[in-house]
Amino acid sequence: MEIEAGRPWWRPDGEAWLLSVRVQPGASRTEVVGPYGDQLRMRLQAPPVDGKANAALERFVADELGVPRSSVAVVRGRSSRSKVVRVAPV
């Protein structure tokens, strides 16, 4: 995943960054699809039950950005397809 400053889905929040995403849980594979309005659309293989999709999203973002899993958290939209993920500095 390549994320550049200046994209509508990626904005600073103090020293951290906020990533606005639209997720499709229960997909055949986990991947970035592309822009979706002001959000970045992603497919998640994990089902939308018991927080599995949120955990998969946090893990995927951390892996793609090369940051520790503990630096990534869903901060808005835990039960929605539209989510905001906070990526803290390492």
Residue 17 within a domain: yes
Whether the pTM exceeds 0.85: the reply is yes
CATH number at residue 30: 3.30.1200.10
Q: How confident is the model at residue 4 (pLDDT cuts 50, 70, 90)?
A: low
Residue 2 within a domain: no
Residue 16 within a domain: yes
Domain count, the chain: 1
Query: Quick one: pLDDT at residue 90?
Result: 83
Residue 42 within a domain: yes
The 10 Å Cβ neighbour count of residue 4 is 6
Sequence-distant (6+) residues with CB within 8 A of 81 are 22, 23, 24, 25
